[in-house]
Chain A
């Protein structure tokens, strides 16, 4: 089966960003902690591919290091969502209709009912701004997404013969969930993980933009945009480039997710918030 153009294009964009982030640990064109005021606010050129900011820092290098922040925050937030949401979903499905199921699902509904952005702002405002608290704030809202999806994927499986066989063989519900249900919902989780990853990048950018994400000197795309805001009239590239970086990362991951969904199983449906 050949890979669709959606997967290839999405995969290409995503791997470009991931490569830039990983490469930034080893090498960036310029040192982003080094200020170079005489060369400030330069437009893109051969020496500075994306130009320089108001401190004369190389924007290309800052985008590379900023990719690190965005990807790390979004990835760990997905990790929190999966790490807690998947077990909860498996547990709820194994007790379908019981009070455990009811409590877990109502809890999920409750988190879903909250405006996530407002709560994320509340959490980071109270706990203090920073990458870790941004991760927590974004991660919490990933939990119900994965719990619902896992439960929805697991419920029909519990009716199947191979699960019945495992029960007859004396396996506990927990073991069945782990050994037989989980591998069969893995595709769903990978696709949803990609989508939540891209939503996480958007959320991180929003939080850093309002000053509640990663703090200076850690570069982040959202904060680069906030810094650019007052200079947009005479240095539009300061706002244009970080924005395009966000769009590429989110678009790449979304296309990858959509492509993977069609590739892995055309029947499955992914929830979009």
Chain B
């Protein structure tokens, strides 16, 4: 296990290193100099030069890359070109919207998908199963931001149960904050739960065909008992991997949903920074999201290997 963990850790570090180089390079090829952009067309050359020095843009590319990575490792994400405030602080404010939203959506998605997937597997080929499979096909095809707009139309505009957008803030109490995250979380969760329910179903069906399930039935357990006592536990392994991947997806996918609901999360920060050409913010937020996604996948891989020893032997 230790050997496997170390091997995965090494590939994690390589992934992060390459990711940081790629993101840095993409930002570098962006046309335009941030200092001249900030000062406008009529800026004096020496003012621009002074600002370049202040922003740390007057050193070589390699040095800038090292400063950026080194800064992030010590928690310093640079200074925003537009707001002249530390990017780290801007991220800290907004991650308390994006992260809870992803967790909320993940919880909902799991709570929906588990019973639905189990139900469909238990009724394989019967009308109940076919209905579920049809509904999940539809769920996969629905773009979550459009679904979000429909939720706003129904529950905010017509029924007035929720506000159409904005975020109450955690200072107003957890209930108010969670309420403003509810529609966004449902919009993110339902299409994901369609995928998860299908994985749950097919994973259970694979297990139901195993010899030990036949043994369980042979020793007198009912279909139901066998399913819950022996089937579910074994079917969970692939499902957990998908849940991990979904968390990563929800974190990244949230950035479009945040646009629909005007939530002050990382997604809005990225889009605002893109239009203000505040590239240091874009660079750092994207790197942070990539880091979180890669970390989640790493943890899932380790958890997977911990419960399934066959996987360790294979790699």
Contact = CB atoms under 8 A, between A and B. Distances in A.
Interface of A: 106, 109-110, 113-119, 121-123, 125-126, 198, 202, 205-206, 209-210, 225, 228-229, 232-233, 236, 239-240, 242-243, 246-247, 250-251, 254-255, 258, 272
Contacts of A121: 255, 270, 274
Q: Is the interface of B mostly helix, strand, loop or mixed?
A: helix
A272 B157 CA distance: 35
Nearest to A244: B146
Given A126-B30, A210-B271, A232-B157, A115 B290 contact: yes
B290 A246 contact: no
B143 A205 contact: yes
Given A116-B252, A209-B259, 15 more contacts: A114-B293, A117-B252, A117-B255, A118-B252, A118-B289, A122-B282, A210-B256, A229-B149, A232-B153, A242-B146, A243-B146, A247-B143, A250-B140, A251-B141, A272-B195
A211 B290 CA distance: 22
Contacts of B146: 205, 225, 239, 242-243, 246-247
Contacts of A229: 149, 260
B23 interface: yes
Contact of B252 (A110, A115, A123): A115
Interface string B228-269: 000000000000000000001101110110011000000000
Chain B's interface size range is: 35 or more
Contacts of B297: 113
A225 B289 contact: no
B176 interface: no
A122 B286 contact: yes
A122 B138 contact: no
Nearest to B249: A115
Contact of A123 (B26, B253, B271): B26
Contacts of A117: 252-253, 255-256
A109 B286 CA distance: 19
Contact of A110 (B18, B140, B282): B18
Nearest to B259: A210
Contacts of A232: 149, 152-153, 157
Contacts of A243: 142-143, 146, 149-150
B15 interface: yes
Contacts of B274: 121, 125
Contact of B138 (A113, A242, A251): A251
A190 to B, nearest CB: 19
A3 B15 CA distance: 45
Interface in B18-32: 18-19, 23, 26-27, 29-30
A239 B153 contact: yes
Contacts of A113: 15, 19, 293-294, 297
Nearest to A205: B143
Contacts of B145: 206, 209, 225
B137 interface: yes
A240 B153 CA distance: 10
Contacts of A233: 153, 157
Contacts of A254: 137, 140-141
Contacts of A125: 274, 282
B26 A122 contact: yes
A206 B143 contact: yes
A114 B149 contact: no
A115 B293 contact: yes
B150 A122 contact: no
A225 to B, nearest CB: 6
Contacts of A123: 26
A192 B163 CA distance: 41
5 contacts: A118-B270, A122-B282, A205-B143, A251-B137, A251-B141
A214 to B, nearest CB: 16
A265 B293 CA distance: 34
Contacts of B142: 243, 247
A133 B49 CA distance: 32
A247 B141 contact: yes
A242 B259 CA distance: 18
Nearest to B298: A113
6 A-B pairs with the lowest CB-CB distances in the bound complex, closest first: A115-B252, A243-B146, A251-B141, A250-B141, A125-B274, A126-B30
A232 B152 CA distance: 9
